[in-house]
Amino acid sequence: MEATKREILVAADHTRTGQYVGVESTPTGQGVEALKDIVFGSTAGIIGKFIEYPFDTVKVRLQSQPDHLPLRYTGPLDCFRQSFRSEGLRGLYRGISAPLVGAAIETSSLFFSYRLAQTALQGTMFPSPSPLPLSALLVCGAASGAFTSLLLTPIELIKCKLQVPSANPSHSFRAPGPLALIVAVYRHQGILGFWHGQLGTLIRETGGSAAWFGSYEAVSAFLHKYNRGTSESQDMLTLPIHQQMLAGATAGVSYNFIFYPADTIKSRMQTEEISDVTKGGRRTFFAVGKALWHTQGLKGLYRGCGITVGRSAPSSAFIFAVYEGLREWFD
């Protein structure tokens, strides 16, 4: 009995997202865990996307303002006010179909590849049965982000083009839908056109995912130690939901703030007119970043960062809470 209690306390000290003590290492057990990652991650991602999407629309519109024209929006509140006045709430949710698919793919892919990276490290560099150290989990987070970026770039390309209003709107103008944009990108740029802005997504997802998982793991470990210091929480294996959400909110802020300039450059690349990209040739990630730095400086690279960090905290809190809740419910 005492041995069992010690095992529970050790597990509580080292429990990590995706690092489940006692998970079967058989192919069947791994397949079940993979299915859980996909289903639970997709569900959590869709819920998080519904919460954050209007703020994401404002962020993309702030990021994609042209260099050679006066700024259309003075800040997040002005952008929200103008967008709501001209398009209503529906306009702030315009183009959400592609991001919902993207959120499901992104979140499930992150949790799935994060667990696979842990399994790979535990089978090679860290063969001991002890949970991985935080430094190794940062590497796993970066690997999961790199893999996810390949799936995410085409979806974000269509999403960004849907979110930005036309440069020459008219009463008779009807914004193209996702299918029309997919056809246009393929016609003008071919299959590789869907990965326009891939470097920005890679930098953001690799570094951001390391920060996302790393922050969550670090805060969770701290809260586990704190809980064990109280008599009523000594045997808790999982964190209470409010602590899970606190750890998730911290993760969301870390993910978005540190690598935000890469996301700004990516958004500008992906919101260029398709015909302009074809005629003038593709501008590279560094060319777009250099032009933005010369015209708007550091402020331009972080334009829209405040609203992004603000919406990422509740969104990420719900993502981790839903994922961990489903994990606990079905385990």
- Model confidence pLDDT, tens digit, residues 193-242: 899 888 888 999 999 999 999 999 999 999 998 888 775 544 556 788 99
Alpha helices in the chain (DSSP H): 2-14, 27-63, 76-92, 97-123, 134-163, 178-189, 198-228, 241-258, 260-270, 274-280, 285-301, 305-330
CA–CA dist 316, 166 (Å, integer): 31
**Alpha carbon separation from 306 to 62, 63, 95, 255, 312 (Å, rounded):** 11, 12, 22, 13, 10
Could you tell me if 302 and 222 are in contact, meaning their C-beta atoms sit under 8 angstroms apart? Answer: no
More confident residue, 50 or 18: 50
pLDDT in tens, 24-48: 456 667 788 889 999 999 999 999 9
Instruction: Give me the pLDDT at residue 27, please.
Output: 61
pTM of the predicted model as reported, rounded to 2 decimal places? 0.77
Could you tell me if 112 and 16 are in contact, meaning their C-beta atoms sit under 8 angstroms apart? Answer: no
pLDDT(12) > 60: no
pLDDT in tens, 286-316: 888 888 898 888 888 888 888 888 888 999 9
Lowest mean pLDDT among 61-70, 289-298, 322-331: 61-70
Q: What's the average model confidence in pLDDT over 245-258?
A: 93
Q: What's the average model confidence in pLDDT over 249-259?
A: 92
Identity of residue 99: P
Please enumerate, as own/partner, the contacts of 293-301 that have beta carbons within 8 Å and a separation of 24 or more.
295/67, 296/67, 300/264, 301/260, 301/261, 301/264, 301/265
More confident residue, 110 or 27: 110
Reported confidence tier of residue 18, pLDDT bands at 50, 70, 90? very low
Tokens 């069992």 sit on residue: 4
Name beta bridge partners: 94. none
Instruction: Give me the pLDDT at residue 67, please.
Output: 66
Could you tell me if 219 and 211 are in contact, meaning their C-beta atoms sit under 8 angstroms apart? Answer: no
Reported confidence tier of residue 282, pLDDT bands at 50, 70, 90? low
Average per-residue pLDDT for the chain: 81
Instruction: Give me the pLDDT at residue 7, please.
Output: 37
CA–CA dist 159, 241 (Å, integer): 32
Tokens 């999961």 sit on residue: 144
pLDDT(93) > 80: yes
Name beta bridge partners: 19. 16
What are 149's two structure tokens? 């970026």
Reported confidence tier of residue 11, pLDDT bands at 50, 70, 90? very low
What are 164's two structure tokens? 């930005």
Highest mean pLDDT among 89-93, 95-99, 325-329: 325-329
- Among residues of the chain, what percentage have pLDDT more than 90? 30
Among 46, 19, 131, which Cα is nearest to 318's?
A: 46
pLDDT in tens, 164-183: 765 555 555 566 778 888 89
Among 107, 64, 169, which Cα is nearest to 326's?
A: 107
Name beta bridge partners: 16. 19
Instruction: Give me the pLDDT at residue 117, please.
Output: 94
More confident residue, 156 or 42: 42
What are 96's two structure tokens? 């959400």
Phi-psi sector, 297: left (phi>0), alpha (psi -120 to 50), beta = left
Instruction: Give me the pLDDT at residue 175, please.
Output: 66
Instruction: Give me the pLDDT at residue 2, please.
Output: 37
